[in-house]
Amino acid sequence: MKTNIVFLFSGQGSQFYHMGHEFYQTNPVFRKYMDDFDKEASKVLGESILSVVYNVDSPRGKGFKRTLFSHPAIFMVEYSLARMLIETGIEPQCVLGTSLGEFAAATVAGIVTPEEALHLVIKQARCFEENCMPGGMLTVLADPALYHDKPGIFESSELVSVNYNEHFVISGEPEVLLKVERYLKEKDMGYYKLPVSFAFHSKGINEAQKSYTDFLRGKDFKKPCIPYASSVYGDFIDEIPEDYFWQIARKPILFKEAVGKLEESGPRVYLDLGPGGTLAGFIKRMVGSESKSLAYSFLSPFIGNDKTFERVVRILINGI
């Protein structure tokens, strides 16, 4: 297949109960990887991730916040879906992750093994839970200039991501975000709270830095075997710094800049492997109607996913 395919992986806030469950029930590749990950995670956590995510009593599509479960769950689903595609014959020519999604991207690119990545993810979650005060993240559906134009409203929050002209994300302490929410409600501006427990990409997680970077010290990260676009740098990288998997949680997300770099070399087919399918939506707004690039997603909390997978695979296998 000659199509220039990019695998996309999203981060915290994209998770929901029963994500990927249709694939778990019907696809043996997806189920195998999910089960293998769950066995390994259970050794470390003493509890099954699948028993949390696929709990029959939990409402389908509802987000869940506990980082110790959501961190590994997102990685497990994303990497299992990637293997599902690869073993179907659809391989990426490039990978791009945002925030936590960089763990799955790095695994597909051969930087770390699946088992190593799972342990890195779980350790990071534990560092947050053991060291950080509660916090949150808020997506604002307005011009990002608003953040700078209203310093009195957004003070003490941090701008962590600008995805397109009417979409930005801030992090901060709960009372800080509550002040912003009140203002947005008063002005009838759209927003939504991400289902997260900490103020990722802000000073609110600084207390976890030492314990996690100590854990990372001496780790041997391999060079990527396929082009690796970084949302930390907004560009391609071929060397992985020792503290890189800390920086993916702390630095601002430069997803838009990374996509800009990808687009410089011509049209792409972006496959969003994140739970919520949000990155595919971002891509469509970023590249504009004149671009020949395409974007597809496979998972959503609102619709069935197996038919979407079959349709996209059929399109890619037959050529675009």
- Per-residue pLDDT for the chain (320 aa), expressed as one digit of tens each? 446 999 999 999 889 999 999 999 999 999 999 999 999 999 999 999 999 999 998 888 787 889 999 999 999 999 999 999 999 999 999 999 999 999 999 999 999 999 999 999 999 999 999 999 999 999 999 999 999 999 999 999 999 999 988 999 999 999 999 999 999 999 999 999 999 999 999 999 999 999 999 999 999 899 999 999 999 999 999 999 999 999 999 999 999 999 999 999 889 999 999 998 899 999 999 987 778 899 999 988 876 566 778 888 888 887 65
Q: What is the pLDDT of residue 1?
A: 40
Rounded distance between C-alpha atoms, residue 249 and residue 161, angstroms: 12
Give residues with Cβ within 8 angstroms of 87, minimum separation 6. Answer: 29
Quote the pTM value.
0.94
Write down the pLDDT at residue 306.
65
- Spans of all domains in the chain: 5-130+202-318, 136-193
Tokens of 127: 């560092």
Candidates 3.40.50.300, 3.40.50.150, 3.30.70.250, 3.40.50.2000; CATH matching 136-193: 3.30.70.250
Summarised one tens digit per residue, pLDDT across range 210-221 is 999 999 999 989
Tell me if domain 5-130+202-318 and domain 136-193 are identical in fold.
no
pLDDT at 307: 74
**pLDDT score, position 304:** 57
- Give, in words, the CATH class of 5-130+202-318: alpha beta
Instruction: Compute how many other C-beta atoms are within 10 angstroms of the C-beta atom of residue 4.
Output: 16
Catalytic residue list contains 293: no
Contact 172, 136 (CB under 8 A): yes
* Chain Cα centroid distance, residue 138: 15
Q: Which one from 10, 14, 99, 157 is the annotated catalytic residue?
A: 99
